[in-house]
Amino acid sequence: MRTTITLPRPDDWHLHLRDDAMMRAVLPATARHFARAIVMPNLVPPVVTGAQATSYRARIMAALPDGMTFEPLMTLYLTEDTDPDDVAAAHAEGLIAAVKLYPAGATTNSASGVRDFDRIRPVLERMAEIGCPLCVHGEVTDPGVDIFDREAVFIDRVLDPIRRATPDLRVVMEHITTADGVDYVKSADTGLGATITTHHLVINRNHILAGGIRPHYYCLPVAKREKHRLALRAAATGGDARFFLGTDSAPHTDANKLSPCGCAGCFTAPNTLPILAHVFEQEDALDRLEGFASRHGAEFYRLPVNGDTITLTKGTPEPGPARIDTPDGVVTVFDPGFDLAWRVAD
């Protein structure tokens, strides 16, 4: 039985850091374990230009505690007015690693997202030319489509037509939640990858709704049926390089999570790696954790694998961290529903 795992220092290919006081409070939880992260641009107002990305990156680096090393990989929020030249310049400078597509109204702070996908075609064509990846929140927002079907419908109505019209565009389907998403990624020979979150490997929709509403398990895309969770676990632990870790760690204060219109998001940065070790051990796939957490994402983004390492050790199962205090209020850490035997060594 393995009790120690040493990995190249992992990366998080989908992360929400927020801004200001909240960012200063949650950033150490990521920087403690991860070398790099794709930072989401859905602030208020969103990060839509290269100049705004430069400013946001400077605020992140200023908030990084002394003695910690961390590289934020910036993204731009795609709107119908995005300037292709600005995207190309930011990418050429190494300022941005990707552009993020939010369908308008799909999730937190997505009101400025895209409604008419034809209007973003010039940007997508330029991105294909320069090799800049598109990160996609893959859900339609049509009120006539059931929330549990919105990922599958997005693939058919939006994503597949985009990829057919712009075949050289490199796309990351972020936080996939369905067997449909897994199958679509597997159907592509090149140019398509997908992130899988920690929490979607652990919970299904019963965890949110059965026996009472549990707001801290509410996220978007929402967790689906058990068959979809099992498909995600098989994809994450199967060694396929098209699937890699993107936590979608999304801190909200308890006041906002527990409000009459509660915010979507699970805060998983502090305990992601111990939870993943638990999941991969359950699937008899500890030897594949390195690929999922440390290698596959770097390969897709054409970046080197990190040279430094981290070590996880297995001991007596204990509860994970429950909360962090921020100047904005308490943020509850995702509870996987089991004690954690694995921990990141100091």
Q: Which CATH superfamily is domain 4-344 in?
A: Metal-dependent hydrolases (3.20.20.140)
Which residue type does 212 have? G
Per-residue confidence (pLDDT) for residue 173, from 0 to 100 = 98
Tell me how far apart the alpha carbons of residues 123 and 341 are, in angstroms, rounded to a whole number.
Answer: 46
Whether pTM exceeds 0.75: yes
Tell me how far apart the alpha carbons of residues 252 and 258 are, in angstroms, rounded to a whole number.
Answer: 10
- Give catalytic status of residue 248 as yes or no: yes
Domain parsing of the chain, residue ranges: 4-344
What lies within 8 Å, CB to CB, of 201 at 6+ separation is 229, 232, 233, 236, 275, 276, 279
What lies within 8 Å, CB to CB, of 293 at 6+ separation is 7, 10, 11, 244, 245, 273, 276
Closest to 99 (Cα-Cα) out of 41, 181, 151: 41
Tell me how far apart the alpha carbons of residues 7 and 142 are, in angstroms, rounded to a whole number.
Answer: 42
pLDDT in tens, the chain (346 residues): 899 999 999 999 999 999 999 999 999 999 999 999 999 999 999 999 999 999 999 999 999 999 999 999 999 999 999 999 999 999 999 999 999 999 987 777 677 789 999 999 999 999 999 999 999 999 999 999 999 999 999 999 999 999 999 999 999 999 999 999 999 999 998 999 999 999 999 999 999 999 999 999 999 999 999 999 999 999 999 999 999 999 999 999 999 999 999 999 999 999 999 999 999 999 999 999 999 999 999 999 999 999 999 999 999 999 999 999 999 999 999 999 999 999 999 8
Per-residue confidence (pLDDT) for residue 185, from 0 to 100 = 98
What lies within 8 Å, CB to CB, of 162 at 6+ separation is 117, 124, 169, 171
CB 214 within 8 A of CB 208: yes
Q: Residue holding tokens 């957490």?
A: 293
Residue in 248, 325, 335, 346 annotated catalytic: 248
Closest to 53 (Cα-Cα) out of 28, 82, 33: 82
Backbone angles phi, psi at 110, to 5 degrees: -110, 15
Per-residue confidence (pLDDT) for residue 343, from 0 to 100 = 97
Per-residue confidence (pLDDT) for residue 109, from 0 to 100 = 65
